[in-house]
Homo-oligomer: A and B are copies of this chain.
Amino acid sequence: MTAQTAALAPSETPEALVARLAGAARAAQAVLARLDPAAKARALHAAAQALRDDAGQVLAANAEDLARGEAAGLTGAMLDRLRLDPARLAAIADAVDQVADLPDPVGEVISTDTRPNGLVLSRVRIPIGLIGIIYESRPNVTADAAALCLRSGNAVLLRGGSEAVQSNRAIHAALVKGLVSEGIPAEAVQLMPTQDRAAVGAMLTAAGLIDMIVPRGGKSLVARVQADARVPVLAHLDGICHTYIHSAADPEMARAIALNAKMRRTGICGAMETLLLDARFPASQQVVADLLGAGCELRGDARARALDSRIVPAQAEDWDTEYLDAVLSVAVVDGLSDALGHIARHSSHHTDAIVSGDPAALEQFLAEVDSAIVMANASTQFADGGEFGLGAEIGIATGRLHARGPVALEGLTTYKWVVRGTGQARP
Contacts and interface: CB of A to CB of B under 8 A. Distances in A.
Interface in A97-141: 113, 115, 119, 121, 126, 128-129
Interface string A377-411: 11101100001110000000000111011100000
A211 interface: yes
A421 to B, nearest CB: 3
A416 interface: yes
A250 interface: yes
- How many copies are assembled? 2
Contact of A418 (B119, B366, B424, B426): B366
A414 interface: yes
Interface residues of A, number: 59
Contacts of A374: 416-419
A41 interface: no
Contacts of A362: 420
A419 B389 contact: no
B400 A417 contact: no
B420 A388 contact: no
A389 B113 contact: yes
A419 to B, nearest CB: 4
Nearest to A401: B402
Interface in A21-73: 30, 33-34
A2 to B, nearest CB: 22
Contacts of A418: 366, 374
A419 B119 CA distance: 39
Interface string A343-377: 00000000000000000001000111011111111
Interface of A: 30, 33-34, 113, 115, 119, 121, 126, 128-129, 211-212, 232, 250, 253, 256-257, 259-261, 264, 362, 366-368, 370-379, 381-382, 387-389, 400-402, 404-406, 414-426
Q: Which 3 A-B pairs have the closest CB atoms?
A: A378-B421, A260-B425, A253-B423
